Chains A and B, each alone.
Chain A
Amino acid sequence: MAADSPALAPVRWLRRNAVVLAGLAALLYLLLPNVVVMLFSFNKPAGRFNYEWRTFSTDAWTDPCGVADMCGSLALSLQVALLATLFATAFGTLAAFALARYRFSGKGTGNALIFLPMAMPEVVMGASLGTLFLNTRVDFGFVTILIAHIMFCLSFVVVAVKARVMSMDPRLEEAARDLYAGPLQTFLRVTLPLAAPGIAAGAMLSFALSFDDFIITQFNAGPSTVTFPMFVWGAAQRGVPVQVNVIGTAMFLIAVAIVLGGQVTANRRRSDR
């Protein structure tokens, strides 16, 4: 039969693996900019912009804070992200329990209120919140940024925690109560540990979203508080220092190490069982 002829073997192989090849190409498209960022952190550009390759240099790595104001903006971003994560995770977890565990009138409204911020473009949210602060004469600054970040992180925490709580086996809590655990004890020793992966996922997502947010922040920051993304935005107009790439690369490597480390320990725990 013709289909078995060896001449067609490569064609058949291609057909069978077309999906894999297309998938790998998509992955390349996704990761290419990260490779470029990493590569250009070792560049020594001619002018103020770090867009063209000149010569290899480790200058930026040995002096990461050598650019005025950059590390200050980085510290501000970390501060905002930590606080926003703290508040959003606390409020969001409570709301997730209400929406996953109880039936009450107004639940539909509650779900819609949580869902809507995720279905709204950032420009719209940023501009309208900014309008609120303008109209109520609140000074733009650290506090307004923090308020905005808690606002848009909340929904993501609720979604992450709710999914986890919904999938939890209620019989485990029933068992705890049957064994004479009080409500508080049941919550602290059974419910909370079971929900922890969802809460952790929500917190990590908030941190990443808050740390990287630019659009909503730009509308609610005012002139004197500059977060790291705002610094990069300004730099894109004035000239991008190589140190920006160093920070980008370092963040990337740290996050990948954390995620891979977590996966390895999870795998090991699974195989121990």
Chain B
Amino acid sequence: MTAPTVPASAGAAPPTDRPSPETGSSGDGPKTGPRRSLTPYWLLLPAGLWLAVFFVSPFFYQASTSVQSGSLEEGFRVTWDFSNYSDALATYGEHFLRSFLYASFATLLCLLIGYPLAYMIAFRAGRWRGLLLVMVIAPFFTSFLIRTLAWKTILSDGGPVVGVLESVHILDVTSLLGLTGDDRLLATPLAVVCGLTYNFLPFMILPLYSSLERIDLSLHEAARDLYAKPATVFRKVTFPLSLPGVVAGTLLTFIPASGDYINAQLLGSPNTQMVGNAIQKQFLNVLDYPAAAAMSFILMAIILIVVTIYMRRAGTEELV
């Protein structure tokens, strides 16, 4: 956008020209009303109240539910019974493990598949850039449950994908690794990971693209002028500068993937169930709310810990 140039403070004006009470702040608007204005609180009130009541307060209810015992008929009572937690880990430990394993694999695959696409859109697409971005978000326009069901067709037992993979003996390799079995793809861990990767790929591509797109191309030229090979340019210039996108993208993929239960339900088997499946079953079918609450708390805690460690690691790497 080319805004009409404002000639006001062009060149001649010294930096002390504006008697601004707030120095060095970013994003402070033109409003120079009373300093202790109540306006921002009024503006924040509806959204803040909504989130406080329907996002924050539920966690307190959940915390109290997670230490209750009883049954649906007799009612649940707070007994400070922490066995819900140990029971959950004992019964569904494998589900937790699978969740984080599958989510990690899917995140890695998303990065490997998404990076070239984001790179291509940012640097090699030319006038097709807009169209390609539309094509990245276009899958969202069809309900994702319908698209996940489409994978059932694509990966079906007699389908072309299984046929091709069988003929080049890739399925033998993956079944040796325990990812598939019986020469099928459906109802295997591989199918679940493939579905997760597919579902969250755009969440990886968009942050990657936006951080790649911001890179100053003259940095590439400078690196090349200094006789860096293309691979070196990527390793020393492009990739480090895209790290914020990598961090954002991996988080946006990993977090929802670790809590997902749709791919495991539709593409997997009882042996590929994730912790989301367990929470959903306890909450909606068994109606054992304390167990569901305890599991959802454990999931949340693990994710918060993982994310904090990861952000700290990524943050320091960025500085180096």
User: In the complex, what residues of B have CB within 8 A of residue A273's CB?
Assistant: 2
User: Beyond A23-B117, A33-B154, A51-B152, is A117–B256 a contact (Cβ under 8 Å)?
Assistant: no
The complex places the Cα of A219 from the Cα of B58 at a distance, in Å, of 13
**Docked-complex contact A26 and B40, CB < 8 angstroms:** no
Q: Are A94 and B43 in contact (CB under 8 A)?
A: yes
Query: Of A106, A113, A236, which contacts B149 at CB under 8 A?
Result: A236
Residue total for A at the interface (Cβ-Cβ under 8 A): 95
Stretch of B85-93, B164-172, B173-181, B292-300 on the interface side: B292-300
Q: Is the CB–CB distance between B293 and A91 below 8 Å?
A: no
CB-based contact A23/B120 at 8 Å: yes
A20 CB–B CB distance under 8 Å: yes
Contact (A154, B51) CB under 8 Å given A30-B139, A34-B139, A251-B143: yes
**B-chain residues with CB within 8 Å of residue A31 when the two chains form the complex:** 135, 138-139
B62 is contacted by which of A33, A95, A117, A127 (Cβ under 8 Å)? A127
Are B47 and A34 within 8 A (Cβ)? no
A19 touches B124 (CB 8 A): yes
Number of residue pairs A-B, CB distance < 8 angstroms: 273
CB under 8 Å from chain A, chain B span 17-71: 22, 25, 27-31, 37, 39-41, 43-44, 46-48, 50-52, 54-59, 61-62, 64-65
**For the complex, is B215 an interface residue (Cβ under 8 Å from A)?**
no
Q: Would you list which residues of chain A between 124 and 179 have a CB under 8 Å from chain B?
A: 124-125, 127-132, 134-135, 147-148, 150-151, 154, 158, 166, 169-175, 177
Q: How far is the CA of A45 from the CA of B37 in the complex (A)?
A: 65
Complex contact A26–B152 (CB within 8 A):
no
Q: Indicate which residue in A24, A27, A107, A173 contacts B30 across the interface (CB closer than 8 Å).
A: A173
B280 touches A236 (CB 8 A): no
Chain B CB within 8 A of A233 CB: yes
Find chain B residues with CB under 8 A from A33 CB.
139, 142, 147-148, 150-151, 154, 198
B296 interface neighbour in A27, A127, A158, A244, Cβ under 8 Å? A127
Q: How far is the CA of A268 from the CA of B285 in the complex (A)?
A: 55
Q: Knowing A23-B121, A124-B300, A131-B293 touch, does A98 contact B40 (C-beta < 8 A)?
A: yes
Report the minimal beta-carbon distance from B41 to chain A, rounded to whole angstroms.
7
Interface flag for B162 (CB, 8 Å): no
Which applies to chain A's interface (DSSP): helix, strand, loop or mixed? helix
A-binding segment of B218-226, B239-247, B258-266, B312-320: B258-266
Closest CB in chain A relative to B284 CB, distance in Å: 7
Q: In the complex, A255→B259 CA distance in Å?
A: 28
Q: Please, which residues of chain A bring their CB within 8 A of the CB of B148?
A: 33
Given the known interface contacts A91-B47, A123-B259, the answer about A260 and B279 at a Cβ–Cβ threshold of 8 Å is no
Tell me which of B135, B147, B198 contacts A37 (CB under 8 A).
B147
Asked if A10 is at the interface of the complex by the 8 Å CB criterion, the answer is no
Q: Are B120 and A215 in contact (CB under 8 A)?
A: no
Smallest Cβ-Cβ distance to B151: which chain A residue: A33
Contact (Cβ within 8 A) A101 B31: yes
- Judged by a CB distance under 8 angstroms, whether A240 is at the interface is yes
CB neighbours (8 Å) of A100 from chain B are 27, 29
23 contacts between A and B (CB under 8 A): A23-B116, A26-B113, A27-B132, A31-B139, A36-B154, A51-B153, A90-B46, A91-B50, A99-B40, A102-B28, A102-B40, A103-B22, A132-B54, A150-B50, A151-B54, A170-B30, A208-B140, A214-B144, A232-B143, A232-B149, A248-B146, A252-B142, A260-B134
Interfacial residues, chain B to chain A (CB-CB below 8 A):
2-3, 6, 8, 22, 25, 27-31, 37, 39-41, 43-44, 46-48, 50-52, 54-59, 61-62, 64-65, 113-114, 116-117, 119-121, 124, 130-132, 134-136, 138-154, 156, 198, 201-202, 205, 251, 255-256, 258-262, 266, 275-276, 279-280, 283-284, 289, 292-293, 296, 299-300, 303, 307
13 further A-B pairs in the complex, CB-CB below 8 A; given A94-B47, A251-B141: A30-B135, A33-B147, A36-B150, A95-B47, A119-B255, A121-B255, A124-B299, A128-B59, A128-B61, A135-B61, A151-B51, A171-B8, A263-B130
Residues of A within 8 A of B (CB): 19-20, 22-24, 26-27, 29-34, 36-37, 40, 51-52, 90-92, 94-95, 97-104, 106-107, 110, 113-114, 116-117, 119-125, 127-132, 134-135, 147-148, 150-151, 154, 158, 166, 169-175, 177, 208, 211-212, 214-215, 218-219, 228-229, 232-233, 236, 240, 244-245, 247-249, 251-252, 254-256, 259-260, 263, 273
User: 4 shortest A-B CB distances, which residue pairs?
Assistant: A121-B259, A23-B120, A22-B116, A255-B141
